Amino acid sequence: MARISKLNVTNEYYVARNGVTQCTAELNVYKNEGERLVRLQTFGSNSRQDKGKQSQVLHIDKEIAEELIKALQSAFDIIK
pLDDT computed for residue 26 by the predictor:
94
74: domain range? Answer: 21-80
Averaged in consecutive runs of 10 residues, what is the pLDDT profile of the chain (80 residues)?
Answer: 91 82 90 96 77 84 97 91
- Cα separation, 23 vs 11, in Å, equals 25
Is residue 5 situated within a structural domain?
no
pLDDT computed for residue 71 by the predictor:
95
pLDDT computed for residue 21 by the predictor:
79
Model confidence, pTM? 0.81
- Cα separation, 48 vs 24, in Å, equals 12
Give the chain's domain count. Answer: 1
Radius of gyration of the chain (CA): 15
pLDDT computed for residue 12 by the predictor:
86
Is residue 34 situated within a structural domain?
yes
Is residue 15 situated within a structural domain?
no
pLDDT computed for residue 52 by the predictor:
67
